[in-house]
């Protein structure tokens, strides 16, 4: 019970007291139900994987869930009270300012419509951006917008998957084309090479030119060979293999080449590595490609380090570390694309083939 007293005054004298009693049981029950409901809703909003942002009618953030914190780097206390446009949606991907008049988040508050944007970018606290899909929904009361709810998802992995699918489709077409080209070119090339070898015995004074021609034909054959590897479906045979032994075999295979270039290969292989289910020949090809790339990227007198260690119960981490000049940042995205190479005599197919394996 809740009691309230009201004094009865007559002629400046207290004549009595009114006592009003109110049964608070129902009121307390309703208050408790509201508190429980609020607690449940907060738990749900804080548990979902999507970023959830509550925005008032002035565009300021009033709610910011943990997923939003994780994606943007802004803690709730840093975001709440700030204009959503100013912290996450102020600039376009090309660096030009994003006018608030064009911003779907602000438009939803102004016109009371729901906007779904399948691809855009939001900005992080550290100054970087990430791709998002988002929906902004106005909250109406008596037909007027009082708030808005913004939900957003980081689509970085989705975009990577889409790019992988596009690349796979291109590779499939390129592979079929490569197989046809390689077979068509290889036959006449074999005949040309044979006749050049015969001519070498007769044209002594022209031998330097013939050597150049033969060298270039060998280079064409190398490219054709790699095109065929790329195009031909490889029969893979998976067996339990010792990665340490495979790495030692590859190291031994290329050690002579390293000595010729005064490059030392240093291995650091954990002896307790688990056996890995893999295609031995495929992995050897990958390791050889990496090692050859490392050698060709370095000057004489340098080192290549090969490290293999157990990452967890089910995986092994292998590192190839060289002392080369490195790759410019603007070229990193091109690595693995057909025929892109930074080497004088490279084909631009080695990393691509390694990725396919």
Confidence of residue 82 (pLDDT cuts 50, 70, 90): very high
* Cβ(310)–Cβ(273) below 8 Å: yes
Confidence of residue 152 (pLDDT cuts 50, 70, 90): very high
Residue 114 has pLDDT above 70, yes or no: yes
Question: How many other CB atoms are there within 10 angstroms of residue 229's CB atom?
Answer: 19
Mean pLDDT of the chain: 79
Pairing of strands 115-123, 129-141: antiparallel
Residue 87 has pLDDT above 90, yes or no: yes
Average pLDDT for 252-263: 80
CA dist., res. 82 & res. 62, Å (int): 8
Residues 6+ apart with CB under 8 A from 21: 1, 2, 3
Between residues 349 and 9, the one the model is more confident about: 9
Which of 79-93, 230-244, 321-335 has the largest mean confidence?
79-93
* Cβ(126)–Cβ(140) below 8 Å: no
Confidence of residue 221 (pLDDT cuts 50, 70, 90): confident
Can you count the helices (H) and strands (E) in the chain?
A: 11, 12
Amino acid 232: pLDDT: 59
Which of 10-14, 128-132, 252-256 has the largest mean confidence?
128-132
Amino acid 81: pLDDT: 94
Longest C-alpha distance within the chain, in Å?
143
* Cβ(240)–Cβ(214) below 8 Å: no
Confidence of residue 153 (pLDDT cuts 50, 70, 90): very high
CA dist., res. 163 & res. 160, Å (int): 5
* Least-confidence region, from 77-91, 142-156, 202-216: 202-216
Q: From start to end of the chain, where are the E strands?
A: 2-10, 13-22, 51-56, 61-64, 115-123, 129-141, 144-154, 238-241, 264-269, 276-279, 303-312, 315-322
Fold of 236-326: Heat Shock Protein 90 (3.30.565)
Residue 56 has pLDDT above 90, yes or no: yes
3-state DSSP call for residue 233? coil
Between residues 151 and 216, the one the model is more confident about: 151
* Cβ(45)–Cβ(52) below 8 Å: yes
CA dist., res. 120 & res. 130, Å (int): 8
* Cβ(147)–Cβ(54) below 8 Å: yes
Of residues 312, 253, 317, 319, the one with CA closest to residue 281:
253
Instruction: Give 316-324's long-range contacts (Cβ < 8 A, gap of 24+).
Output: 316/243, 316/273, 316/274, 316/276, 318/243, 318/247, 320/287, 320/290, 320/291, 320/294, 322/294, 322/295, 322/297, 322/298, 323/298, 324/294, 324/297, 324/298
Confidence of residue 296 (pLDDT cuts 50, 70, 90): confident
The answer regarding whether domain 50-154 maps to CATH 3.40.47.10 reads no
Q: Where are the domains of the chain?
A: 1-47, 50-154, 236-326
30-55 tens-digit pLDDT: 677 666 656 666 666 666 788 999 99
Pairing of strands 303-312, 315-322: antiparallel
Q: What is the DSSP letter of 204?
A: G
Amino acid 60: pLDDT: 94
Sheet holding 129-141, edge to edge: 61-64, 51-56, 144-154, 129-141, 115-123
């Amino acid at each position: 019970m809740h009691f309230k007293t009201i004094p009865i005054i007559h002629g400046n004298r207290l004549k009595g007291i009114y006592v009003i009693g109110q049964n608070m049981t129902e009121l307390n029950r309703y208050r408790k139900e509201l508190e429980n409901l609020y607690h449940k809703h907060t738990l749900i909003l804080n548990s979902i994987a999507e970023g959830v942002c509550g925005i008032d009618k002035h565009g300021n953030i009033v709610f910011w869930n943990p997923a939003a914190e994780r994606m943007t780097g802004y803690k709730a206390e840093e975001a709440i009270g700030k204009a959503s446009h100013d912290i996450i949606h102020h600039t376009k991907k090309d660096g030009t300012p994003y006018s608030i008049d064009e911003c779907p988040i602000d438009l939803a508050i102004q016109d009371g419509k729901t906007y779904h944007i399948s691809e855009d970018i939001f900005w992080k606290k550290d100054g970087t951006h990430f791709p998002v899909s988002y929906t902004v929904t106005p909250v109406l009361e008596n037909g007027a917008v009082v708030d808005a709810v913004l939900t957003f998802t980081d689509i970085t992995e989705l975009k990577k998957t889409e790019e992988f699918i596009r690349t796979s489709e291109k590779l499939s077409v390129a592979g079929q084309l490569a197989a046809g080209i390689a077979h068509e070119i290889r036959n006449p090339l074999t005949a040309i090479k044979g006749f050049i070898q015969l001519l070498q015995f007769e044209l002594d004074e022209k031998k330097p030119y013939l050597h150049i021609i033969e060298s270039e034909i060998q280079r064409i054959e190398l490219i054709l060979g790699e095109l065929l590897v790329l195009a031909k479906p490889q029969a893979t045979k998976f067996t339990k293999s010792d990665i340490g032994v495979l790495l030692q075999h590859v190291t031994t295979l290329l050690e002579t080449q390293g000595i010729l270039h005064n490059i030392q290969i240093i291995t650091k292989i954990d002896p307790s590595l688990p056996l890995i289910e893999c295609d031995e020949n495929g992995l050897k090809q990958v390791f050889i490609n990496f090692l050859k790339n490392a050698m060709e990227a370095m000057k004489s007198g340098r080192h290549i380090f090969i490290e293999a260690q157990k990452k967890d119960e089910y995986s092994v981490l292998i590192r190839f570390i060289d002392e080369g000049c490195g790759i410019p940042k603007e070229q990193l995205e091109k690595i693995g694309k057909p025929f892109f190479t930074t080497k004088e005599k490279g084909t631009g197919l080695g990393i691509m083939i390694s990725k396919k394996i």
